[in-house]
Chain A
Amino acid sequence: MDRFRFVLFRPLQLLPVLIGISIATFALVRSIPGDPVRVLLGPRGTPEAIARIRQQFGLDEPLWRQYFYFVENLLDGRMGKSIVYKIEILDLVARRIEPTLALVAGSVLLSLLLAVPLATLAARNRGGLADHLVRLVSTSGLGLPAFWLGLMLIILFSIHLDLFPVAGYGETLADRLHHLVLPCLTIALALSAVLTRNLRASMIAELQSDQAMAARARGLSEGQVFRRHVLPNSLVPTINLLAVNIGWLIGSTVVIESVFAIPGLGQLLVRAIFARDYLVVQGVAMIFACATVTVNFIADIATALADPRVRL
């Protein structure tokens, strides 16, 4: 019962959060120095042309009214028109969302595929060589900036080994996946460093827990204790850790899409910022904000499903 209530009412509770985010987004975008119309028209723009375009996009109206247009456009769903591309932002986003989603999903999957075995190896050989190596690698992974790591991977795998494309996004599914390997790996290496350290710590705690001792006392082997009791219990906090890191993850996709020239939302956002394409920046920022809120909502539900003690 409680869970139904949560699923129904939590989105309502999140409404004020979204309103706050929309105000913050709006204010931040407006505080970027520079005038979008001047940027668009360049030095050739006559004062008349500038005035006309300002009027066309409502930029001559008072700020509070511009904010309401923004909200109106958001509620409308189409999010208004891009000053640069001259098409509706919804269409723009629809064209570019797939690479970003694939990048995020691929990175999370890959980082789990790296973190779970590495943390297992380290936790089960605590204090041993494998443990020290895993900790060394994951600690250094925490310090590396994503763009640098991405460039290094490009130099190694694309230029020297010629295994993966340098940049871009393919046409066919296989081609796209091929293009996504290095970008996903770049993000996954950084993310798995965080995940591995946390998983290792919770696995070690679980290995020493009373309930693991009780499982040994009923004759389970170390492997069985690990698979059946230690692993499930230590994965529960990982769900939340991933949700907490979703903001960082989105930030990384913005950088990585630029490094690898992937035509996704991040790249769109960066270009829109340079072009002072206000409505696009606002739109994409709102999408990222909603995604963060949604992911945390889903993580709450997933935690409750994985851990019966959690009350929503």
Chain B
Amino acid sequence: MSAPLLSVRDLRVSAGPLDLVDGISFDLGQGEILGLVGESGSGKTMACRALMRLLPSRQVAVTGGRILLGDDDLAALPEADMRRLRGHALGMVFQNPASHLDPVMRIGDQIAEGLRLHRGLDRKAAWAAAIDLLAQVGIPDPARRARNYPHEFSGGMRQRAMIAVALSCDPGILIADEPTTALDVTVQAQILRLLLALREARGLAIVLISHDLGVIAQTCDRIAVMYAGRIVEQGAKTDILRRPLHPYTQGLIRCQPGEDGGGPGLPLPTIAGQPPSAGEMPAGCRFHPRCPRASETCRREMPAPHALEGRIVACHHPLTGEVP
């Protein structure tokens, strides 16, 4: 693989004494789609907000690690320089398009905004570019739709519009935080197809966050599985889905409807117990209280991420050599 576009090393995000993201590392290549999966509260949103340096409050901050993009370390960049990268190098799409669009500004103006403020395009050129972007994200009759307000769009169209807003200044990386969670299944598939098409057309690299392995399976090239603020396993999608090495990954896969087990009529298997909250992390491996393979070592020592069978796993007893 050529040098990655974005390299994250030991990224730590803390709220006061609590580590919400506890030293995660991953790479993102040009045109690659990386899926970030994990249960609710595992720190997916914090991790990607940290990449944009847009954390939800002053108490939450990046407290360690590096985010390497080209020659810059985003974790250490002054705010003014960081701002120049937002929208230009990194675009972001959010879970709830209804609340992330300005209700009193026309869709076209919101798309044109970045182009006018940062690219210095005049009103007319920016508007034309906005219409073009709406067409690229598959909005029919874009010239008319650009004049609409967000409430006049359906949920799926709003998400398309938000993607157009995020792509207006042509970023190389798109961070999509659960972009389809608020949408119904058919619209969800359309949005995922759109993301794939944009990757083809623009060579866009995407960090796609989801708690839904089905979504990840349809789109991603590589997967990173997060648990309690750490990445427990990452590697190529097909490897991980076909033969997970970490017991948590295996549990997640078994919980998917229509994957392993849980046929029609049968209750879906679940992973017993609850994920720990940031204040009360167990000693040793954070998954051990819920892990069927936990041993004395797991209770004492935090497993370090290591390379195994072409991926990186953080487990003392990975599921090697077993047929799932």
List A residues at the B interface (Cβ < 8 Å). 209-211, 213-221, 224, 228-229, 232-233, 236, 306-309
Q: When the two chains form their complex, are residues A228 and B113 in contact, meaning their CB atoms are under 8 A apart?
A: yes
Q: Once the chains are docked, how many angstroms separate the CA of A214 from the CA of B113?
A: 12
Is there contact, CB below 8 Å, between A229 and B105? yes
> Quick check: is B254 within 8 A (CB to CB) of the other chain?
no
- Contact, CB under 8 Å: B52 / A217: yes
- Give the CA-CA distance A232 to B102 in the complex, in Å: 10
Tell me which of B13-21, B81-89, B223-231 binds A.
Answer: B81-89
- B8 vs chain A, min Cβ distance (A): 18
Instruction: Using known A-B contacts A209-B99, A308-B149, A309-B151, determine if residue A232 contacts B91 with beta carbons closer than 8 Å.
Output: no
Cα A213 to Cα B84 in complex, Å, equals 15
Please tell me which one of the listed residues A213, A218, A229, A309 contacts residue B149 in the complex, with CB atoms under 8 A apart: A309
Q: What residues of A have a CB within 8 angstroms of the CB of B92 in the complex? A: 214, 217-218
Would you call B166 and A211 a contact (CB within 8 A)? no
Name 22 A/B residue pairs within 8 A (Cβ), A-sorted.
Answer: A211-B101, A211-B102, A211-B103, A214-B100, A214-B101, A214-B162, A215-B113, A217-B52, A217-B54, A217-B92, A218-B168, A219-B84, A219-B86, A219-B114, A224-B117, A228-B105, A232-B102, A233-B103, A236-B104, A307-B103, A308-B103, A309-B151
Q: How far is the CB of B320 from chain A (nearest CB, A)?
A: 41
Q: How many residues of B contact A (CB 8 A)?
A: 31
Are A232 and B105 neighbours in the complex by a CB distance under 8 Å? yes
Shortest Cβ gap from A209 to chain B (Å)? 7
Q: Would you call B118 an interface residue if the criterion is a C-beta within 8 Å of the partner chain's C-beta atoms?
A: yes
> Which residues from 160 to 185 on chain B have a C-beta closer than 8 Å to any C-beta of chain A?
162, 165-166, 168-169
Contact of B96 with A by CB under 8 A? yes
**Which residues of chain B come closer than 8 Å to A210, judged between CB atoms?**
94, 96, 99-100
**Is B54 touching A213 in the complex (CB atoms < 8 A)?**
yes
B residues 37-78 in Cβ contact with A at 8 Å: 52, 54
Report the bound CA distance from A191 to B91 in whole Å: 43
A219 touching B87 by the CB < 8 A rule? yes
Chain A residue contacts of B168, Cβ below 8 A? 218
Chain B, residue nearest A218 (CB): B87
Q: Which of chain A's residues have a CB closer than 8 A to the CB of B162?
A: 214
| Closest residue on chain B to residue A230 by CB atoms | B102
**Known contacts A224-B117, A228-B113; is-contact A218 B94 (Cβ 8 Å):** no
Do B91 and A213 touch across chains, with their CB atoms under 8 A apart?
no
Question: Does the CB pair A216–B86 fall under 8 Å?
Answer: yes
Residues of A within 8 A of B91 (CB): 217-218
**CA of A66 to CA of B239 in the docked complex: distance in angstroms?**
93
| Contact in complex: A214, B165 (CB < 8 Å) | yes
- Which chain A positions have C-beta within 8 A of B101? 211, 214
Determine if A219 and B54 form an interchain contact, defined as CB atoms under 8 angstroms apart: no
Q: Tell me the nearest residue of chain A to B109, going by C-beta.
A: A228
Chain B residue nearest to A228 in the complex (CB): B113
Inter-chain CA distance A221–B83, complex, in Å, is: 7
- Please, what's the 1-or-0 string for B120-163, where 1 marks a CB less than 8 Å from any CB in chain A? 00000000000000000000000000000101100000000010
Q: Across the A-B interface, give the 5 residue pairs with the lowest CB-CB distance, nearest first.
A: A219-B87, A210-B99, A214-B100, A218-B87, A219-B86
Question: Which of A213, A214, A232 is close to B104, meaning CB atoms less than 8 Å apart?
Answer: A232
- With A210-B99, A210-B100, A229-B102 as given contacts, are A216 and B54 in contact (CB-CB < 8 Å)? yes
Are A214's CB and B94's CB within 8 A? yes
Output the least CB separation between B104 and chain A (Å): 5
Closest A residue by C-beta to B95: A210
Query: Bound complex: CA of A160 vs CA of B52, how far in Å?
Result: 57
Contact partners of B104 in chain A: CB under 8 A: 232-233, 236, 306-309
Chain B residues with CB under 8 Å of A224's CB are 117
Q: Which residues of A contact B84 (CB under 8 A)?
A: 219
What's the Cα separation between A11 and B255 when bound, in Å?
Answer: 61
Q: Which residue of B lies closest to A211 (CB)?
A: B102
User: Hey, which chain B residues are within 8 Å of A218, CB to CB?
Assistant: 86-87, 91-92, 113-114, 165-166, 168-169
How many Å from the CB of A211 to the closest CB on chain B?
5
Smallest CB-CB separation from A127: which chain B residue? Answer: B58
Q: Which residue of chain B has the shortest Cβ distance to A216 in the bound complex?
A: B54
Task: Give A308 to B102 CA distance when docked, in angstroms.
Answer: 11
Given contacts A210-B96, A309-B151, contact A217 B102 (CB under 8 A): no
- A215/B83 in contact, CB under 8 A: no
* Least Cβ–Cβ distance between A125 and chain B, in angstroms: 13
Q: Once the chains are docked, how many angstroms separate the CA of A3 from the CA of B44?
A: 45
Residues in A with CB closer than 8 Å to B169 are: 218-219
Is B88 in contact with A219, judged by CB distance below 8 angstroms?
yes
Q: Which residue of B lies closest to A235 (CB)?
A: B104
Most interface-central of B83, B103, B114, B166 (chain A CB within 10 A) = B103
Closest-CB distance, B206 to chain A (whole angstroms): 15
B103 x A220 contact (CB < 8 A) = no
A217 to chain B, nearest CB (A): 4
Q: Which B residues are CB-close (under 8 A) to A217?
A: 52, 54, 86-87, 91-92, 94, 166
List the A side residues contacting B94 at CB < 8 Å: 210, 213-214, 217
CA distance A306 to B104 in the complex (A): 7
Residues of chain A lying within 8 A (CB to CB) of residue B151: 308-309
A279 to B95, CA, bound (A): 63
Shortest Cβ gap from B33 to chain A (Å): 19
Pick the contact of A213 from B87, B88, B100 — CB < 8 Å?
A: B100
- Once bound together, how far apart are the Cα atoms of A231 and B166, in whole Å? 22
18 additional contacts, CB 8 Å, given A217-B86, A228-B105? A209-B99, A211-B102, A214-B92, A214-B165, A216-B86, A217-B92, A217-B166, A218-B92, A219-B84, A219-B87, A219-B88, A219-B114, A219-B118, A220-B117, A228-B102, A232-B104, A232-B105, A308-B149
